[in-house]
Structure 1
Amino acid sequence: MAAHNGWRRVATFLLSLGPQQVVLVIQSQRNSYHSRQASQRKEEILLQATQLGQGAPVVLLLHELSQNDGDWSILPALPHLSVSFSQSAAWFMFVEEETSIMLTSLLRVLNKYDAQKEWFLGKRLHDSKASIIHHYAFSEDPTSFGYPDPAAGWVLSAPLLHRLAERIQYSPLKSDFTIDLKHEIALYIWDDGRGPVLTDVPEFCAGQEAHCATAFTASVPNCGDPVKKEDIFVAVKTCQKFHSDRVPVVKATWEKDAAFLEYYSDVTDSSIPTIHLGVPNTERGHCGKTFAILKRFLSPAVPEADWLLIVDDDTLISLPRLRSLLRCYDATEAVSLGERYGYGLGQKGYSYTTGGAGMVLSRTAVAKILSSGCSCYHDDAPDDMVLGMCLTTLNVPITHSPLFHQARPEDYAPAWLSNHQPVSFHKHCSTDPVAAFTHWLQDRHAHSEL
């Protein structure tokens, strides 16, 4: 009888905020693996709602909202959400595919806040020092500005979302580039002090604590045995001036985990060895070199492999973790995988995988790029951006993984980085790259023997 009365008290409590007043947006992706993961998460949430018996939240898959590929950056999607749920929704929550939601706990948390006011809720992250990926914002006091951990989920009240949806129509992002989504969204909402700051919600978790309304599994997803070492061909871009300092780091850290690896330079150096592809070195982008690598990958000159990994000579990467990650993907599909950036997304621009973090392409994707006639407009064009334009034209999705990193470990919020099992980092400047690799990327029990 006591248990029954307890359930009645919980049910009465939840009636003040019905699940149907919550719109949950799962930040899904068009790649088949990710769309399956998001659909499974949606089913789990709706099953909880059925068991609760008080109605169901609206659960949306982000990649299905519209034909605008830039919706992943959230702000371009706000007008659509505002129009579609102008009257019915009190709260809009954004979660990742791997974020678990405890619906009863979530409703209890949201009930603490007045839904008629502007609220920006989430697990608060902050920089420990000025970061290049945040354009050195708040350099005098980096801890003063908070932004949400996307793994824990974040929430906008309806009044705030509707106001932002109006604003985005006439006040786009100050930068053409979308680099670190969570920080840039917080900056846009804050609006130089005219908008709300992020309110930290302890029940939004990026771990598995008992009190949590959300939880997150941060390891490399387990999709079965890793792909074989021979399934990945590794292309390292270098040039003569870095042969003596950057290349030795690759050899001292992760080269041994590669079955097939070649160094591509502007000179032939037998001591490494390097291969000169006939493309001169350029100080800016490396489009000519990258497209020469794509052609070589499909030629009889190298062993046939399902996957091509293109990295810079100052990229640090865990190939065993990458092999585990790639088991989740179908190499017969056109796959472009890495850390996703965006250019001009508010004006129907395009996405791309940033080169320094490592660009992974399936053999099918490489063949599709080359057969399409896509090419560099100049040898020193930015290779990652040109590939992004090509793939967008070909309707091949740019697939994002938060495990790839364009910058150094110290450029990320410690609380965020500690909840992930990274696959890559980039840049050697002002850091010890071997120590960074050993600390962040070297596994005691790697799969290098497989």
Structure 2
Amino acid sequence: MTSPDNHEKKAKHVQATWAKRCDKTIFMSSQADADLNAVAVTDGEGRNRLWEKTKNSFKYLYENHLNDADWFLKADDDTYVVVENLRYFLSSYNSSVPLWFGRKFRKFLKNGYMSGGAGYVLSKEAVKRLVEEGLPNPKKCRKDGNGAEDVEMGTPNYFLLTCMYKCAGKCLQNLGVMAGDSRDEMGRERFFPFVPEHHL
């Protein structure tokens, strides 16, 4: 995910570094950019529109690229991913099982939700459920475009005052998508949502 202001400042550096190691990279923005392979999925930007942007991004992927991959990574333009490590981690999981992985927070949801800032990965089956069953059904997923994408993707359908921060978790939890444990065998995190100094 990116925005027009960050196409040159951030997204092009993602494209020049770790994104090269992905099978396919598509930047979701409010403005198309052929040099960046950016697609316009919304007509505006802002933190209050992240859920709209996320929903539209997954609809776009479902309609145009569902069979191009087994796993779909959502990462912001200030995220760095070691793609080889992510591939290795995902290699022991089946993408036909409804799963998602990332840095799990438990503050608002029983099963937790993945931090949007750290990025998260959805299996192909999770994307299918999201778009086919969740987004069309306001009892499963928030209908409007307001709210923070990470929480809306993961909890039960009730209004949270804190939804401005956490929207992805609600929807996937309602759809039976399991929030997987992405920690290593020693309990160390693999997805880091904060600046490096915070994790030291």
TM-score by length of 1: 0.37
- Measured after TM superposition, the shift of residue 292 of structure 1 is 1.2
Higher RCO (Cα < 8 Å, 6 or more apart): 2
Conserved? CA contact 1:291–1:375, under 8 Å:
no
Q: How does 1:187-226 map to 2 (within 5 A)?
A: none
Larger radius of gyration: 1
Structure 1 pair 249/296, CA: closer, same or farther in 2 (3 Å)? same
The CA distance in 1 between the partners of 2:66 and 2:31, in whole Å, is 19
Partner of 2:144: 378
- Measured after TM superposition, the shift of residue 251 of structure 1 is 2.4
Aligned residue among 187, 191, 194 for 1:404? 191
The CA distance in 2 between the partners of 1:329 and 1:240, in whole Å, is 35
The CA distance in 2 between the partners of 1:398 and 1:412, in whole Å, is 22
- Measured after TM superposition, the shift of residue 377 of structure 1 is 4.1
Q: How does 1:326-345 map to 2 (within 5 A)?
A: 326-344=90-108
Could you tell me which runs of 5 or more consecutive residues in structure 2 were left unpaired when the two chains were aligned.
154-168, 183-188
Q: How does 1:114-263 map to 2 (within 5 A)?
A: 237-263=1-27
User: RMSD of the TM alignment (CA)?
Assistant: 1.9
Percent of aligned positions that are identical: 26
User: One-letter code of the match for 2:130?
Assistant: I
Could you tell me which runs of 5 or more consecutive residues in structure 1 were left unpaired when the two chains were aligned.
1-236, 414-450
CA deviations over 1:337-366 (Å, ceiling 9, x no partner): 111012335xxx451111111110001111
The CA distance in 2 between the partners of 1:278 and 1:344, in whole Å, is 27
Structure 1 pair 364/272, CA: closer, same or farther in 2 (3 Å)? same
Aligned residue among 56, 73, 76 for 1:309? 73
The CA distance in 1 between the partners of 2:49 and 2:103, in whole Å, is 18
The CA distance in 2 between the partners of 1:279 and 1:301, in whole Å, is 21
Aligned residue among 109, 116, 129 for 1:355? 116
Conserved? CA contact 1:376–1:386, under 8 Å:
yes
Task: Report the 3-state secondary structure (helix = DSSP H, G, I; strand = E; otherwise coil) of the residue aligned with 1:243.
Answer: helix
- Measured after TM superposition, the shift of residue 385 of structure 1 is 0.4
The CA distance in 2 between the partners of 1:376 and 1:313, in whole Å, is 25
Structure 1 pair 303/368, CA: closer, same or farther in 2 (3 Å)? closer
CA deviations over 1:84-133 (Å, ceiling 9, x no partner): xxxxxxxxxxxxxxxxxxxxxxxxxxxxxxxxxxxxxxxxxxxxxxxxxx
Task: Report the 3-state secondary structure (helix = DSSP H, G, I; strand = E; otherwise coil) of the residue aligned with 1:361.
Answer: strand
The CA distance in 1 between the partners of 2:6 and 2:146, in whole Å, is 18
The CA distance in 2 between the partners of 1:248 and 1:287, in whole Å, is 23
- Measured after TM superposition, the shift of residue 369 of structure 1 is 2.0
Write out the 4+ residue segments of structure 1 that deviate beyond 3 Å after TM superposition.
300-303, 374-378
Conserved? CA contact 1:286–1:379, under 8 Å:
yes
User: One-letter code of the match for 1:378?
Assistant: D
Conserved? CA contact 1:288–1:376, under 8 Å:
no
TM-score by length of 2: 0.79
